Structure 1
Amino acid sequence: MTLEQFTNDEEQVARRYEYDDQLVFVVDFGAAIADSAVDVVDGTVLAVLDGTQYEIELPEDADDAHTFIKNGVLTIEVEGDR
């Protein structure tokens, strides 16, 4: 998974955090996002923000992924071997 696709806009901040048993990806789309939804389907995170869809492939060795979006901040927590 790469975060470069989200950093083209100077106002978006994307970060990757590595822990012993988990990776966490965070993308700040801004608090102005009025309508958003996020789900994981067949190893792909699908995020729809104000009508624009983003697809993010999870690592092949990801055992489990949890996603949520709040106040325009998308968080993806990936568990498993890296």
Structure 2
Amino acid sequence: MSMQQFTGGNERFIRRYEYEDSWVIAADVALSEDEIDVDIVGSTAIVVANTDDHVTETEFELPGSDADVEVRNGVLTITIHK
């Protein structure tokens, strides 16, 4: 397993793990499942956060296109199968 860690401007953490059969991207978004929507289009993740008075959209490239998305306890997890 290998791991990379990044921080954004607001000091939230994003980690990327690489396993033999998958990559896992975990991001501390501090939002509930109802406040965030993630679409995977090809190998691009489109993340839309909708809080009470603000909508933010972020796009980033994934290392593959076969992905599962989960939001639990304020953590966004995207698992990309190799």
TM over 0.5: yes
Q: Distance in 1 between matches of 2:65 and 2:33?
A: 30
User: Displacement of 1:24 after TM fit?
Assistant: 0.3
C-alpha distance 30-52 of structure 1, shift in aligned 2 (>3 A): same
Alignment match, 1:49: 49
Query: TM-score scaled by structure 2?
Result: 0.73
SS, match of residue 66 in structure 2 = strand
Maintained 8 Å contact 1:65/1:78? yes
Alignment match, 1:27: 27
Q: Tell me whether 1:58 sits opposite 2:62 in the alignment.
A: yes
Q: Which amino acid aligns with 1:42?
A: G
Unaligned runs of 5+ in 2: none
Query: TM-score scaled by structure 1?
Result: 0.73
Maintained 8 Å contact 1:68/1:76? yes
Maintained 8 Å contact 1:30/1:73? yes
Q: Distance in 1 between matches of 2:73 and 2:43?
A: 24
CA RMSD of aligned residues (A): 2.4
Maintained 8 Å contact 1:48/1:54? yes
Q: Distance in 1 between matches of 2:15 and 2:65?
A: 21
Aligned length: 75
